[in-house]
Structure 1
Amino acid sequence: MLEFVSVYSRYQSQLNKVEKRLQFEVASVQQDIHSAASTLLTAGGKRIRPLFTLICSQLGKPHQYWDEIERVACALELIHMATLVHDDVIDHADLRRGSPTVRSRYGNLAAMYVGDYLFAKAISLLSGIQNARVHFELSNAIVKLCKGEIEQIRDLFNWDQTLHNYLRRIERKTALLISVSCSLGAIVSDAPERDIYLLRKFGYWTGMAFQVIDDVLDFSGEQSTVGKPVAGDLRQGNLTLPTLLARRKSDGKRLMKLVRPEMTATDADEAIDIVRQSGCIEEARNFAKLCMEKAIVYLDQITDLDSRNELQIVAQFVNERLF
């Protein structure tokens, strides 16, 4: 954690510029949109995606291409914020980072348009970048992100889904956006082609680990720490890795019987206990470690030692975080 704070502090001035740009971009004369977007922004967040973009830009010419780097970093965070707003509508979530969600403050319909507003702002920001490759990579990631969201809705309470379904879903929902956070930071700063490839792969596997750890924390974290109700995914019927692994254990049949659309609060509590006692939370954490090992294989091939060390520290934080 101390090493992560040290890396974060090295980029603090640049992250402050990104933050000011974000505040400017979400501003609107429409008061409800302005209030909702500003509240979401000030609720905090680790700004991991902009940080990855900033670090990866160091492999090119960051001082020469700062405007493009800032645009990419801000756009990625706006897209991430938009997906959170939409996710909270899908999940009927009332809390995010310990604060009321946009949907709980303004209703589902307004929340969907706030998310769309943030997406539009991200696209507007990127329109100032001439490199067509940036637009292709990010638009491709957003298309797959939307597919991942639809797949999650389709697979709610679906015990017939495979682990492959789950992995494809988290690839689309999380890993690809982190992957492009790394690759685009390198692309817009004119980094070497080999480094762009390695960073894209590093970001992908780091993103896979990131989402698995999120799914682990959904069961093992405390609400006061993670900022939202514990085991919210299971209560909503979203079957994540710990739950899918637990169905193979001795209490698996009981678990599948409990987790269903008409599940009661008592049923959910019993199902959560089954998952927690199955040993599958630790199995899922070990899978995240395997993902990080794959990420490091690509990272170790990057020749810039400083950037490599910084990325490894941030990746380690992702894998060991408590929130």
Structure 2
Amino acid sequence: MAVIRVGTRGSALALAQTRQIAERLGKAAGADIEVVPVTTHGDTSRASLSQIGGTGVFATALRESLLAGDCDVVVHSLKDLPTGDAEGLRIGAIPKRADARDAVCTLGGRTLAELPEGARVGTGSPRRIAQLGALRPDIRAIDIRGNVDSRLARLSAEDESERLDAVILSAAGLGRLGRADAASELLPLEDWPTAAGQGALALEVRDERGSRELERGLAAVEHATTRAFTIAERGVLAGLEAGCAAPVGATAFLADELLFLTASVYSADGTTALTSSHAATPESRAAADLADAARDVASRVVAELLGNGAADLAPLEESP
């Protein structure tokens, strides 16, 4: 039987989500799966994302492994993937998206609104830090790194200086780890837009056509609607020349035969924000028509944001 080698980061979350999609890939392909863990710069550095530059810190080593032929396909969290094309590579499939919302996790089940003044809320995301500043300027955002378990452990840390009143994590990540019950509140996307592509995975492969088994598996796990949503959301980042760690939130969805896109750009402290919303009408639900509508709506959102001064709010230029 053919073997498909699937590259992934070695974190518990990355391995969990890779194994879930790899099982589907292997079943559809009629092939055995070999998971190949790859260590990335983002996994070894303890610096904040704003310091190391979020763009590509989790993706570069995976891409190098793929180009070197050490694996046949790599699995990315799409929100961590740079928007620019990688020479010699293509996104072979984007599976159906999981929950795109952010989750507030507390020990006592309190919501973000119920946290006391001066509460300490942990997150490693500049976007979330800005959103916290906009919604609750009376609380303190604490920049943290680490895996899901280590972040949740900060809620009950014995050392009071390390203890947090809440942490904010992705709902999709909690769900994939079987930790959905840790969420005290799921923040609605209309009020709290999340990172472009959050909740979605990307299966990246080399440009040349892969084995018959691999291509069959990729076609089976592809989800055209999710791809369209992520094209729209990531189109905002690309148009703004913003990295995946920039304080930008974007949400795309379908309703009444229209593809809607809303995006917000925040100043680093959240005191200022710009939002743009537009819709496009796909000619059909075919993948190509959905993608065209996604690119159209993204271009209009970007034009409005830039016209209203988005580039002046925060450093947005993406690292090469």
TM-score above 0.5: no
Q: Please state which structure has a larger fraction of its residues in helix.
A: 1
Q: Taking structure 2 as the reference length, what is the TM-score of the superposition?
A: 0.28
Q: Please state which structure has a larger fraction of its residues in strand.
A: 2
Q: Taking structure 1 as the reference length, what is the TM-score of the superposition?
A: 0.28
